[in-house]
Amino acid sequence: MRKLCPNFDKEDGLDTVLEVPIPEEMFTSGGGGGGGGGGGGNKFWRKNVRTSVRPGSRSTSSSLGRAAELQLMLSVVGAPLALLPVPAHKSTIANCNPKDGPIEASMAKYIIQQYVAAVGGEKALDAASSMYAMGKVQMRSTGINGDGRGKKGGGGGEVGGFVLWQKRRRRRPEQLMWCLELMTVSGCKISAGSDGRVAWRQTPWQQPHASRGPPRPLRRSLQGLDPRLTANLFADGVWVGEKAVDGEACFALRVDADPAALRARGSGGVEIVRHTAWGYFGQKTGLLLQLEDSHLIRVDGVYWETNTESFLRDYRAVDGVGVAHAGRSHVALFRFGDDGRSTSRVEETWTVEEVEFNIVGLSDDCFLAPADLQDDVGDDKGGRTRGGTQAASARNIGPAQVAAVDSDPAGGGGGGCKLITY
């Protein structure tokens, strides 16, 4: 991962410090040129990176099929949110008595107590008020057949780097502020964040937009980066049995989003039918080894189901907190309608190269939402869809648009659809 970019305007100029560290592949893409940004690396930077980092810029992919594939990958695994709001600061042990309630709920509380002890203990988790993580992701689509016709294989994949910042509000520590930036080799950049009151996302093909309902944490944080969030999420879950993950026996916990939260996330012709998450905790280690979630939405009579499985590994202690430094995810997106069933699949592997807690000088201002986002929030309060547009027809929605259905009818097709992170 590189943190500095050569100065292409002045050979004797200082290198530029990158906001998002990038993999070495970004300097060797485009044919020719090795490290140091020479040859093809220079052309790549001039053509892709220096333009794509600007807000509202478009993908530079020359192939429409490749652009659709990239949009699918970034939409599905780039910055998905957790199934429900999770308090950032909550005592999972002091306020939990495993002997209270049904046996399934009591078992879940006991398992979470073991998990908290395995990742460093309550004291270590409470001491971490902010976090920074930097890593590398590799995404690959293994089948896109949104038109109902099967397509095996996929593109050559996409490599990128990400930076994640998190902080608990000083006056309201239960509110979590976070900001994610992810940039790919092809020059696409996706940004997402939350100021503790609203969650938002911005992509190369769309301006900033807010997610509906109360702000939710980033799912990537639950993939072994923030044990406190994981513990708080499953502390109110139930034990549903056992399962072997990579040969290790695990306890299985389940948590469901309540109907009120699902209704708050729906709009117009979009109904969130259900959203459920499962956590599999090792019986020997107590660590979270697999995170799985599934959500089903209905768009004008057509059902879309997204199933995501994430496998966590390489736990290391950082300031006394156990953090998973690597993993992989498998996402399957199913469409059910009168015209048949189609499936799209995306795979992601990631490695975390740097993790730090209690970042000095990390201000609340670093998590402010984009200025033009306030207009969108105001439209929602007025009962209208974002931008004053109507819901798109389900037939115009593709795999990358299942997270939302606000589109301009005049735009036609999936290109007019507006992505909103449900």
User: Given this model, what pLDDT does residue 25 score?
Assistant: 64
CB within 8 Å of 243: residues ≥ 6 apart: 249, 250, 252, 280, 290
Tens digit of pLDDT for each residue in 119-138?
999 999 999 999 999 999 99
Q: Which residue, 179, 253, 257, is CA-closest to 218? A: 179
Are the CB atoms for 400 and 75 separated by under 8 Å? yes
Confidence class of residue 142 from pLDDT cuts 50, 70 and 90?
confident
What local confidence, expressed as pLDDT, does residue 308 receive? Answer: 96
CA nearest neighbour of 216 among 191, 238, 193: 193
Which parts of 103-156 fold into alpha helices (H)?
103-118, 122-127
- pLDDT computed for residue 95 by the predictor: 59
Above 50 in pLDDT, residue 418?
no
pLDDT surpassing 60 at residue 417: no
* Percent of the chain at pLDDT exceeding 90: 43
Q: What is the pLDDT of residues 261-273, one digit of tens each?
A: 888 888 778 889 9
What is the model's pTM?
A: 0.80
Interval 388-397 mean pLDDT: 44
60 pLDDT band (50/70/90 cuts)?
very low
Looking at residue 162, what is its pLDDT?
94
**Mean pLDDT: which of 53-57, 198-202, 205-209, 283-287 is highest?**
283-287
The Cα–Cα gap between 293 and 375 comes to 32
**pLDDT tens figures, 76-123:** 888 999 998 998 887 665 556 666 678 999 999 999 999 999 999 999
Q: Looking at residue 414, what is its pLDDT?
A: 37
Question: Quick check: helix, strand or coil at residue 222?
Answer: helix
Identify the pLDDT of residue 56.
44
The DSSP 8-state label assigned to residue 57 in this structure reads: P
Domains of the chain: 2-53 (no CATH), 71-418 (2.50.20.10)
Q: What is the CA radius of gyration of the chain?
A: 21
